Amino acid sequence: MESLWNPDEAAACGADPLALRVYGSRLLGAVPELVLHGGGNTSVKAVVPDRWGDPVEALLVKGSGFDLATIVAEGFTPLRRTELLRMLELEELEDEEMVLRLRLASLDPAAPAPSVEALLHAWIPARYVDHTHADAVVTLTNAPGGRERIRELYGRRVLWVPWTLPGFALARRIRELTRNLDWESVEGLVLEHHGVFTWHDDPRESYERMIRLVDAAEQALPAAAPPPAPAAPSPLELRAALRREASRHAGRPQLLRALEGPWERACAASASLQAALERGPLTPDHVLRLGWKPARVGAGQEPGEALEGFARESRERFARLGRPGLRELPPAPRWILGPEAGVLVLGPDRRSLDITADLVRRQLPAAALGEALGGWRPVDEAGLFDIEYWSLEQAKLRREGEAPPLAGRVALVTGAASGIGRACARLLLEQGAAVAGVDRDPRVEEAPGPVRGGWLGVVADLTDPGAAAAAVRAAVETWGGLDLLVSNAGAFPPGAPLEEVEPEAWRRTLALNLDSHFFVLRAAIPWLRLGIRPAVVAVGSRNVLAPGPGVLPYSAAKAGLHQLVRGLALELAPDGVRVNSVHPDKVFDTGAWDEATVAARARRYGLSPEEYRRGNLLRREVRSEDVARAVLWLLSDACPATTGAGLPVDGGDPRAI
């Protein structure tokens, strides 16, 4: 590991200690082998003015939950250092009480909640303090004889700190260990199963001590190359079944992603590596995202049976280690291993999948190295349980807020590049679903709005049955299943009386407006059967109930679709899949209409364009958003008892009522 410190960049920070603190923190955050996703913390001590302008000796420490890679000055919380040092004189302090007192010690009530390690940062006398969960150092402490290995590597340059729960307990322990310490004589603390602290009055030296200590540990470890193993992606059916079972145990829907790389292949092929990984994560901080262990699925084992076994073990563990007043976490895995399953991660949205995947990628080589050193020994069962159920760790997750209504659900929308399909896709994204949008138009690659769950744009011509099946498969490959389908793709052809319709035009209209729905539905059915509260909505037309002259091929296709939906509702009801349709009329904000067409039609009926637009009982122009809201409602849990229905979204048509 090399120092990334750039004197020119550091000089650009001027003499501002906080700017230098931000700079050094980001250098640590830039290296995944040091910290990931909110792990680690840093601080600087400085004299700052309080609200009266009086100078105060302050500790500016990273706010809890902030990521070192992207931290800004506002991510640091100024605290009165003297108050923190007084808190450290207490014999005991409950963690919740510590959090309250830290808030009282804050010089800025608008600043974020300070890191739970604030007391420890205050105790270390140097101006700059850096803390990481460096893989290489923690891997050494997780090997048999970890303490001796650290002593052998660093001599007396670092102080060994046996495993201690972070927060007040760890700060107190280090206070006891260093009471008579000459701080100049040591360069760092190595915390068993946890990480490294370094410090110095000079920010560069504090950072580079960290890099030197980690580099020495990396050099001391054997080379970590994954043993070769053949690529064997897990079957999609297995993934979908595991996703559904894991979601059931989690009590909320989850997305599932397969990780594929040399380490993942090696892990799938090695029962001993899988067994090692079951012993616990690299550093206890990871338990928050990875859970206490991955679920394992044996060769040929039923997914339901495997996850039931995991849930049973989780409940037994809670019964054994839990204390009164603790609420049991859902007995569901966050990641899954197996010879056929490979390495799978679970989470309610794209971001949590990314984080879990990043953390899993750190576990595999570390545990393999631990095994090579004589046996992977992360923190013991009780220590891991303490962290998992530590109120301050749980609070980090709570800060992420409530999940949106469709979090963890997978939706596929056809015709998603424009019009009604685009509006449906946007609403589904807003509700937190992971959405695959399919269209012939490449504009579909761009998401129609802010993405929380996930967006996959698929360019495909759905009149080709192979392309339709591939589009459905792409969604299942990306998120592990399919729950919601909006079968919307279609086109409104130029009007003509039936006697003038060429057979080719007839076939084209039916291919676009009926065959394509059949192809998508046929490909989606097996996945919907494995889905979570699955539902389908097809976009029909007012023409089904009130046909107009001059568009009979279109009317016939939509009438066919209507009948397809009703019949499919019968076929899929035993599997709990609801199938409905909406029947919109004259949705002018779609590609099917332009000003000239509206004007021509209006003239034909002797109306102004405005009158024509509002030519319904409610005198209301129907917009694609109105249709999308109806679609969303039919798909949602708010509509659990409706199947085989066709819902008009036409402003009221006397001929159809």
| Closer residue to Zn ion (CB): 392 or 406 | 392
Q: From edge to edge, which strands make up the β-sheet containing 128-132?
A: 76-80, 55-62, 41-49, 128-132, 195-200, 188-191, 158-161
- Binding track over 160-199 against Zn ion, x by CB under 5 A: -----------------------------------x----
Question: Are 24 and 42 contacting, i.e. CB atoms less than 8 angstroms apart?
Answer: yes
**What residue number has its CB nearest to Zn ion?**
195
**Of 422, 652, 416, residue with least CA distance to 542:** 652
Min separation Cβ 116 and Zn ion, Å: 9
Min separation Cβ 163 and Zn ion, Å: 12
Of 128, 154, 207, 554, the active-site residue reads 554
| Closer residue to Zn ion (CB): 195 or 370 | 195
| Closer residue to Zn ion (CB): 195 or 203 | 195
- Binding track over 194-223 against Zn ion, x by CB under 5 A: -x----------------------------
Q: Which position has the token pair 């992971």?
A: 434
3-state secondary structure 594-623: CHHHHHHHHHHCCCCHHHHHCCCCCCCCCC
Q: How far apart are alpha carbons 613 and 378 in whole angstroms?
A: 68
Min separation Cβ 132 and Zn ion, Å: 8
| Closer residue to Zn ion (CB): 193 or 426 | 193
**Exposed/middle/buried for residue 6 (C-beta within 10 Å: 0-12, 13-18, 19+):** exposed
| Closer residue to Zn ion (CB): 195 or 490 | 195
Binding residues among 554-613 for Zn ion as defined by CB under 5 A: none
Q: Which position has the token pair 């145990």?
A: 249
| Closer residue to Zn ion (CB): 42 or 488 | 42
| Closer residue to Zn ion (CB): 193 or 265 | 193
Instruction: Confirm whether 554 is a catalytic residue.
Output: yes
Q: How far apart are alpha carbons 188 and 450 in whole angstroms?
A: 43
* Binding residue count for Zn ion, defined by CB under 5 A: 1
Min separation Cβ 289 and Zn ion, Å: 14
Min separation Cβ 192 and Zn ion, Å: 12
Angle at which helices 624-635 and 419-430 cross, to 10°: 50
Q: Distances from the Cα of 159 to the Cαs of 284, 301, 354, in angstroms?
A: 20, 47, 35
Question: Are 484 and 411 contacting, i.e. CB atoms less than 8 angstroms apart?
Answer: yes
Q: How many CA atoms lie within 13 A of 347 on its CB side?
A: 25
Q: How far apart are alpha carbons 291 and 295 in whole angstroms?
A: 10
Min separation Cβ 179 and Zn ion, Å: 22
Q: Distances from the Cα of 322 to the Cαs of 165, 276, 317, 381, 389, in angstroms?
A: 16, 24, 8, 12, 9
Residues in touch with Zn ion (CB under 5 A): 195
- Give me the active site residues, please: 554
